[in-house]
Chain A
Amino acid sequence: MSSIRSRGLALALAVSMAFGLSACSSDDESGDASTSAATSVEYKDTFTWGVETEPASFNPFINSQDAAGPILRSLYDAYFYLDGDGVYNPWLAESHEISADNRTITIKIKQGITFSDGEKLDADAAILNFTRTQDPAIVESTTWAASLASVEKIDEYTFKLVLKEPDTRLLERLSGSASAPISPKDFNLDVADLKLGVAIHGTGPYAITTYAKGEQVVLTARDDYNWAPEALTGRNGPAYTKTVIYRFLGEASTRSGALQSGQVDAIDSVPSQDVALFVDDSKFQYAVFQNGGTPYTLFFNVSRPPFDDIRVRQAIQLAVDIDTIVNAVYYGTAQAAKSPISSASPFYDASVALTPDVAKANSLLDEAGYATKDAEGYRVNAAGERLSIPIESNSLFVRDSRDILNQAIAGQIKELLGVDYTWKSVDGGTWSDNRANNTYVAWDNSVGAADVANPLAVQYNSNPAIGFINLGQIHDPKVDELLATGQENFDFAIRKAAYVELQHYVLVEQAYVLPLVIMRHSHAAAADATGFLSDPARGANWGAYNVRVPK
């Protein structure tokens, strides 16, 4: 049996500030109920979170919002969880075995696990999930399952995943919400309900009781839950707090105000400008976790002007002083990204970082044919056509001051290069049209994950069935080859070599992307709230399982 040794994922850089160490399970959240009884602490029945992002869907197969992770973690369990040492530990699985040729994974499920509708999780339910989630009518793309040849039942609680070729992505996906099983009965729901996901049932410690779009979702703890990953949670049994409310507070200042005024017990995505309010006040605690996977990155659309010209791409890369921008926009609470891979990943190569060079950037644009400027001071080509770069972001994914970050970049490029570079947020429909018609010049994206194989595959692979968000339109055999090496080998050294080469090739040689900022999850809470677990490999809040606050 082998495991993906993502040792360095301990570098998840769970940068804990102030009282953030509570995130590492410091006190009674690792104990049991008797602890609280002994100290006579009484806890509230309800814990209220103020969260920035409302899940676009509660279906774990469909939702791709990293920020929705903690909510989904409270509803759905995975077969494994990846610890900080890069070891896959059992969760819904009792054990697993990988064949010598890395093409077969046999998983034995724990007995006694049920979905929140009472249905039991067994091999049949698991196989149904694997089968139905490859139906494009339900899930548009399951790239992680592309290497899956078949799923075979061995006995009532054991099944076998047979792969077409070795794929490091599979176990990683089996440790995330995206492949968490849902009740077999849920596949009888109509497609719209299945896609919204409010009515489906997971095996998690909570189930949805009410959902008011744009307002809140209320989760109620399951009394029969008894299959938590104890090594991480420190205990088993039902969740501590009976009712957890996630209130959707998209407005940054509203979130901060809600916590300060005691309307909520905790908030996520703490606005950078408000971090000091919570760090400097003993009534609150604050913690931040740097995400693994890929950072928030600008992908140049290389299939159309102006980014089909590498000189224009390089010019933009060299003009942006990302350190200064990130420091100004995030008030020193975030890290600038220097590579297509997050610095929280063990595959990150610090030597790939670019150094801003405005003079060179300007000469590159001169060489690209934009040597003169119009009356308004913008660069134009020989035909008098202005070099315009209108960046548009899908408003669904504009969070955590990304709007400010993009404005700062636009201002810098406009001022230093004389390029008509603009940014605006557009609604999802407009963005979908842009994508369908290939009328966008670039797109921005990040994928948080415990391992880089899947994020890189979906963002860079030229096969649209795998690289379904390869909206940089990168069709490069060398990229595909390096991705395959990193994906199919279980040897860390081989993978590292492939990913180091990939970083240099993608960022420096081909200038396909502009890395912007390492994504992170942060939360602030009342000082006496406890039980904030972190997902050690992904660098994210775990969920509501151990969270509680005294009365």
Chain B
Amino acid sequence: MSAFAVDSIDDATEARVSVAPNLGLARRLVTGVTQAWTSINRAPLGLYLAGAYLVVVLVAVFVPQLISQVDPTHQDLLQVNRAPSAAHIAGTDYLGRDVFSRVIYGARYSLLIGLGATGISAIVGVILGVSAGIAAKWVDTALMRFVDILASFPSILLALVVIALIGPGLTNLIIALGVSHIPSYARVVRAQTLQVIRSGYVEQARTLGLTRLRLTVRHVLPNALGVVPVLATIGLGGAIIGAAALSFIGMGPQPPTPEWGAILSESRSYLRIAWWTGIFPGIALTLTVITSTVLGRAWQTAYERRGK
């Protein structure tokens, strides 16, 4: 791919060039959401249930005390491993902590890790993908070989390697998971970028002398990134699962943090005598991932319809 012309043009010229296909990032997002909402209106019951569950999760994330007023780290050593009852609707764990409260407060950590990791993957992936798409061939080759190397590791293994280098903990877990999912974003965004810059309107803008920066920011990015929110929504579920998996083996938040994977890990020795300590966080985790996937697929469908 050759470099763009760098001559400047006036805003009027640029405006004429950008009229048809470029709606602007914000406008495109609004359109996407609107179309998704239209799809939702025609959606099956599952999508409504997913939406309802999403609302519950969001409440649990931002105002968990609306759902449970019990401190998730409060121990009652005289009430360990109690079965679900009126006092503890999901029972208590091996330290007498309220399982329901830990699951509710755990949503914040699991979602934070999932969103944080997805954000890192998406941002770095977009930077790499767009850079590879618009830069000189040797830069493209170098960047994509780097991405290939990252992609050659299973994502969970790559995350483990990163944690081995920087240590366990909440922040490091987010970074590790984020790094491990970069390749999928980078590859998709590069493909989208190449598609955009070969389109007629970009060719026209280039011949009119837009700077590479302006062409990228005003025309390539908005048109190439439409797929990223869709990918991110679907990928969020994978990131949450990955976070739970790494927390399960002790690489995530440390006790007594009520992160879902950590709770599942803590419960595994007690499943014979206190099944509820593992079942409820497992259900929460599963429903969250399903919700993320269902909503992501719906958005993807809407996005693809828009393209047609």
User: Which of the candidate stretches A117-125, A181-189, A418-426 sits at the interface with the other chain?
Assistant: A418-426
Residue contact A411 to B256, C-beta cutoff 8 Å: yes
A408 partner residues in chain B, CB cutoff 8 A: 75, 77, 95
Chain B residues positioned under 8 Å from A210 (CB to CB): none
Rounded to whole Å, the gap between the CB of B150 and the closest CB of chain A is 25
Contact A325 B77 (CB under 8 A): yes
Q: B74, B254, B271: which has the most chain A beta carbons within 10 Å? A: B254
The answer to whether B77 and A324 have CB atoms under 8 Å apart is: yes
Choice from B74, B250, B272 contacting A277 with Cβ under 8 Å: B272
Residue of A nearest to B96 (CB): A328
Q: Is A233 an interface residue (CB 8 A)?
A: no
Q: Which residues of A contact B61 (CB under 8 A)?
A: none
A411 and B254: CB pair below 8 A? Answer: no
| Residue A271, interface by CB 8 Å | yes
Assess the B270–A273 pair: CB atoms within 8 A: yes
B259-274 near A? 1/0 per residue, CB < 8 Å: 0000000001111110
Knowing A325-B77, A407-B95, A415-B74, say if A273 contacts B255 (CB, 8 Å).
Answer: no
Residues of the B chain whose Cβ atoms lie less than 8 Å from the Cβ of A253: 268-272
Given A271-B269, A273-B270, A403:B77 Cβ within 8 A: no
Residue of B nearest to A328 (CB): B77
B26 located at the interface, meaning its Cβ lies under 8 Å from any Cβ of chain A in the complex: no
Could you tell me the distance between the alpha carbons of A185 and B100 in the complex, rounded to whole angstroms? Answer: 62
Q: Contact between B95 and A328 (Cβ–Cβ < 8 Å)?
A: yes
Task: Please name the residue on chain B nearest to A255 by beta carbon.
Answer: B269
Task: Give Cα A412–Cα B94 distance, bound, in whole angstroms.
Answer: 14
Q: How far is the CB of B74 from chain A (nearest CB, A)?
A: 7
Q: Are B271 and A415 in contact (CB under 8 A)?
A: no
Query: Is there a chain A Cβ closer than 8 Å to B73's Cβ?
Result: yes
Q: Are A411 and B269 in contact (CB under 8 A)?
A: no
Contact with A along B61-89 (1 / 0, CB 8 A): 00000000000011101101100000000
State how many angstroms separate the Cβ of A401 from the closest Cβ of chain B. Answer: 8
Within 8 A of B (CB), among A386-411: 403-404, 407-408, 410-411
Partner of A252, one of B80, B96, B250, B269: B269
With beta carbons under 8 angstroms apart, the residue of B80, B81, B256, B268 that contacts A410 is B256
Asked whether any CB of chain B lies closer than 8 Å to the CB of A274, the reply is yes
Alpha-carbon separation in the docked complex, A425 to B265 (Å): 14
B75 touches A412 (CB 8 A): yes
Q: Of the candidates B80, B255, B270, B271, which one forms a contact with A403 in the assembled complex, judged by CB atoms under 8 Å apart?
A: B255
- Quick check: is A256 within 8 A (CB to CB) of the other chain? yes
CA distance A128 to B299 in the complex (A): 76
The A interface is mostly helix, strand or loop, or mixed, namely helix
Judged by a CB distance under 8 angstroms, whether A509 is at the interface is: no
Residues in B neighbouring A404, C-beta threshold 8 A: 94-95
Chain A 239-255 interface residues, beta-carbon cutoff 8 Å to B: 251-253
Chain A 261-301, CB-CB to B under 8 Å as 1, else 0, gives 00000000001011001000000000000000000000000
B267 CB → nearest A CB, Å: 10
Q: Among B75, B268, B271, point to the contact of A411 (Cβ < 8 A).
A: B75
Closest to B268 in A: A253
Contact of B256 among A271, A327, A407 (CB under 8 A): A407
A424, B269: Cβ atoms closer than 8 Å: no
Residues of the A chain whose Cβ atoms lie less than 8 Å from the Cβ of B254: 422, 424
Complex Cα distance, B278 from A57, in Å, reads 35
Residues of B within 8 A of A410 (CB): 255-256
Q: In whole angstroms, what is the CA distance A359 to B26 when docked?
A: 59
Q: A271: nearest residue on chain B (CB-CB)?
A: B269
**Distance, CA A329 to CA B272, complexed state (A):** 16
Q: Which of B81, B255, B271 contacts A424 (CB 8 A)?
A: B255
Contact residues in A for B78 (Cβ distance below 8 Å): 324, 328
Query: In residues 77-117 of chain B, which contact A (Cβ within 8 Å)?
Result: 77-78, 80-81, 94-96
In the complex, A257 Cα to B71 Cα: how many Å?
33
Give the Cβ gap from B278 to chain A, nearest Cβ, in Å: 11
Alpha-carbon distance A403/B269, docked complex (angstroms): 12
| A423 contact set on B, CB distance < 8 A | 255
CB of B269 within 8 A of CB of A251, answer yes
Give Cα A328–Cα B97 distance, bound, in whole angstroms. Answer: 12
The B264-306 residues at the A interface (CB cut-off 8 A) are 268-273
Q: How far is the CB of A383 from chain B (nearest CB, A)?
A: 26
Nearest Cβ distance between residue B13 and chain A, in whole angstroms?
A: 56
B75 surroundings in chain A (CB, below 8 A): 408, 411-412, 415
CA A158 to CA B272, docked complex, whole Å: 56
**Bound: A328/B79 CA distance, A:** 9
> In the docked arrangement, what's the CA distance between A422 and B81, Å?
22
A408: nearest residue on chain B (CB-CB)? B95
Contacts of B250 in A (CB 8 A): 425
Instruction: Determine the distance from Cα of A328 to Cα of B80 in the docked complex, in whole angstroms.
Output: 7
**Cβ B272 vs Cβ A274 within 8 A:** yes
* Nearest-neighbor residue (CB-CB) of B169 within chain A: A424
CB distance from B102 to the nearest CB of A (A): 13
Question: For residue A257, which residue of chain B has the nearest CB?
Answer: B272
CB distance from A269 to the nearest CB of B (A): 12
Which one of A324, A404, A412 has the highest number of Cβ atoms from chain B below 10 Å of its Cβ? A404
Q: Would you give the shortest CB distance from A396 to chain B, in whole angstroms?
A: 14
Complex contacts, A328 vs chain B, CB 8 Å = 77-78, 80, 95-96
Subset of 17 A-B contacts with CB under 8 Å:
A253-B268, A256-B272, A273-B273, A324-B77, A325-B77, A328-B80, A328-B96, A403-B255, A407-B255, A408-B75, A408-B77, A411-B73, A411-B74, A415-B74, A415-B75, A422-B254, A425-B250
Query: Would you list the 3 A-B pairs with minimal beta carbon distance, nearest first?
Result: A328-B77, A411-B75, A424-B254
